Structure 1
Amino acid sequence: MKQKPARRPRTAPTISDVAASAGVSPMTVSRVINGQTNVRAATREAVNVAIAALNYSPNPAARSLAGAGQARIGLLYSNPSAGFLSEFLVGSLDGASRSDVQIIVEKCELGDHEMEVTQRLIDGGIDGIVLSPPLCESDPIIALLAEAGVPTVAVATSRSLDTMLTIRIDDRDAALTMTRHVMALGHRRIGFISGNPNVTATVNRLDGYRAALAEAGLAPDETLIAHGLYTYRSGLDAAEQLLGLADPPTAIFASNDDMAAATVAVAHRRGIDVPGDLTVCGFDDTTLATAIWPELTTIHQPIADMARGAIELLVSRIRQSKDAGPINPHRLLDFTLIRRQSDAAPRQRPRASRPLAERKRT
């Protein structure tokens, strides 16, 4: 009976151990292992001595960086939107299949154990990392990966760092486009539900909404802005806040489909017709947008395409040779406004007349 090869023991030295022994950074060790020339001879010698002394053996995938061998890519996720996550995973798996790479999917909650998960992947010799939102905004994770020299692509962030690749849409322009569309229908009191404040997409979408109002000459009304967290639950609370105003909005633009769907639910519970009495628009165009009634007018963010593109970018960087052409590190994809049944012109209501008894007294 043929025996399976023994697994690498948990106590095996890591790239971090080599770096500590040689007195250099993990990134420098990675450069030496991968044969890069931008390392001083004395430093290279120190790293090689440490590798020999610790009997360190790089992961087989790491040795295939410049070749066509199968690389291992980690995908870290922590997204409250099931619709976004499902499309993201489908796109990632499709991209991995096309590029012949292995995907390792890890749930990684911010403020919990994200550093532990990331370090475990680094120590295991991972070849590259894909960061989905909101992890794409995590400074500690980004710094750790940069220090270790692990190629990283951040999805749906407008941050432009030299240490990582990015792929996204123009969130500000998308929100500007949607708000203009709602105003073109005749709405002037437009509510907005923002998302997680620690994500650059949230800031950009809110900025786009405000910019559209400003170009139409509408004074900002902060009571029309409610804050959510991209979850359905937070959308319920935000919609209750907006629709509970003494002068509620005639339209609500939510920063994702989950919160837009929650807004429709609150409207139904209050006996408000959508779109007759209230226009509701979302963002992302996930499966939820067409799973409710009325179906949502929304911004189509090509989530699966961004995930596929992230894998392609990462594989190109991992397998980049000295003779290869330059890689565009920051890729911008197109968005589309999808109009469905949840928007309409504001209903024209006649002015309330005085009661008959009051008219007779006058």
Structure 2
Amino acid sequence: MPVKQTDRSQTGATIYDVARIAGVSAMTVSRVMNGNTHVSEATRDKVTAAAASLNYQVNFAARAARVGTLGVGLLYSNPSSAYLSAFLVGAMEQCSQSGGQLILERCDDMRSQRSAIARLIANGADGILVPPPLCDSKSALKQLDQIGMPTVAIATGRPLAGVSAVRIDDYEGAMAMMRYLLGLGHTDIAFVQGDPLHTPAQLRYQAYLDAMEQAGLKVAPERVAPGLFTYRSGLSAARQLLGRKSRPSAIFAANDDMAAAVIAVAHGLHLQVPEDLVVCGFDDTPVATTVWPELTTIHQPIGDMARAAVDLLIEQIRRRRAGGPVVAQHKLLPFTLIARESSDPAAAGAQDGDALTG
């Protein structure tokens, strides 16, 4: 059923205000807000931009009386990442079991955030999941808070007090990997950083620095290379770290995509992994077991995190529909260090240690 033309959003803006700014009729705004496909893309963009500028949102109480489905919105970027693929599988499975309908919207940059959020709401999202790296976007989280949208951030290293979050302890995970490498006897360990805007990347790097310091080892500037959590950035970092006469004995990359790139560059230089170079990653995404040799990494339970996030969001949506308060919750899931061939041929398929919870 279309949104009534008299509907007023919780921010005070009306459908008529959106129509006036977009230069279209209120009925056209109603069609866009209800996901009607018989609207041109240009018109849809004008309406969603106008709605975003007003923080316009369909009245949740009115929608709840009309619509029985639970719209679980997912705001994502970096669609080629292995992390997102694993997260999507878990989110879809849990939505299927919990009666939620997963609604996806891509957001490529800060400028498109407002429009992407407006499109999610227009397409029926009652709450929004925010996986990395957007989980650390203060502007996106602020906008969602301003319009009263139930939100769950996933894999943020420093969750905001007022925003629900599902995560692991990235610092302790990276410390576990460093203790493992130091325990193997490595003293010349290099590090490939992740996206500097992503808090888990910051925590993983800080753990590397702290572990080296606690072991009484200095970190030379040439042993740290920048990365962006992408395979391509891992290639550049690996060439920087391995293109010198003096090479490290081990490289710890802040995620598996970059660690896989390090292995590829090592092979190109005719280096044997792990005989000439030990390589470790973080996340335990599918790429960890598709590269050769298989990757030693920190297992982040991405599928479980997605399922927990969907459960948490649906609980918040139901509380809101019932008129109850939505209270932020933070869930910390365990990680596990998985030792495989990239650090020790004898460790193929073995698991080093139990699950460690931060």
Tell me, yes or no, if structure 1 residue 334 matches structure 2 residue 328: no
SS at match of 2:225: strand
C-alpha root-mean-square deviation of aligned residues, in Å?
Answer: 3.0
Report the Cα distance in structure 1 between the residues aligned to 2:58 and 2:184, rounded to whole angstroms.
64
**Greater Cα shift, 119-128 or 190-199:** 119-128
**Aligned equivalent of 1:130:** 129
Hey, what's the Cα distance between the residues in 2 that align with 1:247 and 1:327?
A: 53
Query: How far apart, in 2, do the equivalents of 1:292 and 1:339 lie?
Result: 14
Report what 2:81 is aligned to.
82
Specify whether residues 144 and 12 from structure 1 end up closer, same or farther in structure 2 by C-alpha distance, changes over 3 A only: farther
- Alpha-carbon distance in 1 for matches of 2:123, 2:9: 9
Structure 2 letter corresponding to 1:199: H
Check whether the contact 2:7–2:14 (CA below 8 A) recurs between aligned residues. no
- Tell me which amino acid in the other structure corresponds to 1:313: L
Superposition pairs for residues 224-263 of structure 1, below 5 Å?
224-263=223-262
1:14·1:123 contact (CA, 8 Å) conserved in 2? no
Aligned twin of 2:352: none
Distance 1:82 1:282 in 2: 14
Task: State the match for 2:98 in structure 1.
Answer: 99
Q: Deviations over 1:285-340 (max 9, x none)?
A: 11111111100001100111111111111111121278989967110000000011
CA contact (8 A) 1:239 1:262 kept: yes
What amino acid sits opposite 1:102 in the alignment? Q
Cα deviation 1:166-224 (Å, max 9, x = unaligned): 01000010011001101111111101001100000000000111111111111222221
Superposed counterparts of 1:205-224, under 5 Å: 205-224=204-223
Instruction: Please give the alpha-carbon distance, in whole angstroms, between the structure 2 residues aligned to 1:267 and 1:224.
Output: 16
Corresponding residue number in structure 2 for 1:194: 193
How many residues in Structure 1 have an aligned counterpart in Structure 2? 305
Look up the equivalent residue of 1:18 and give its one-letter code: G
**Alignment-derived partner of residue 148 in structure 1:** 147
CA contact (8 A) 2:300 2:335 kept: yes
**Cα pair distance change 1:122/1:70, threshold 3 Å:** closer
Amino acid aligned to 1:255: A
Larger Rg, first or second structure (1 or 2): 1
State the shift of 1:13 in Å.
5.6
Deviates more, 1:12-21 or 1:202-211: 12-21
Paired residue secondary structure (1:304): helix
Q: Contact conserved, 1:110 with 1:135, CA < 8 A, in 2?
A: no
Q: Check the 8 A contact 1:122/1:150 in 2, yes or no.
A: no
Give TM-score scaled by structure 1 length: 0.77
1:63 matched to 2:72: no
- CA distance in structure 1 between the aligned counterparts of 2:124 and 2:290, rounded to whole angstroms: 41
State the Cα deviation string for residues 229-288 of structure 1 (Å, max 9, x = none): 111110000000001123211100011111001000000000111000000001111111
Paired residue type of 1:15: S
Change over 3 Å in CA distance of 1:61–1:167 after alignment to 2? farther
Task: Give the alignment of 1:337-348 within 5 angstroms.
Answer: 337-344=337-344
Aligned to 2:164: 165
Q: Distance in 2 between matches of 1:241 and 1:161?
A: 35
- SS at the partner of 1:196? coil
Q: Is the 8 A contact 1:58 1:125 kept in 2?
A: no
Q: Give the partner amino acid of 1:185.
A: L
What is the percent sequence identity of the aligned residues?
A: 46
Letter in 1 for 2:147: A
Contact 2:10/2:59 (<8 A) preserved: no
Decide whether the 8 Å contact of 1:80 with 1:230 is kept in 2. Answer: no
Compared with structure 1, are the counterparts of its residues 314 and 17 closer, same or farther at alpha carbon in structure 2 (3 Å cutoff)? closer
AA aligned to 2:151 is T
- What secondary structure sits across from 1:105 in the alignment? strand
1:326 to 1:205, Cα distance in 2 relative to 1, 3 A: same
C-alpha offsets along residues 40-74 of structure 1, whole Å, 9 cap, x if unaligned?
xxxxxxxxxxxxxxxx9746884269xx9421111
Does the residue aligned with 1:268 lie in a helix, a strand or coil? helix
Please state whether the residue corresponding to 1:319 is helix, strand or coil.
helix
Matched with 2:118 is 119
Change (3 A) 1:148 1:61: same
For structure 1, the 5+ residue unaligned runs are 22-55, 346-362
CA distance in structure 2 between the aligned counterparts of 1:205 and 1:174, rounded to whole angstroms:
8
Within 1, Cα distance between the matches of 2:339 and 2:13?
Answer: 54
Equivalents in 2 of 1:327, 1:57: separation in Å?
21
Distance 1:291 1:13, change over 3 A: same
Q: Kindly indicate whether the alpha-carbon contact (under 8 Å) linking 1:154 and 1:165 is maintained by their aligned counterparts in 2.
A: yes
SS at match of 1:191: strand
CA distance in 1, matches of 2:62, 2:155: 27
Report the CA distance between 1:125 and its aligned residue. 5.3
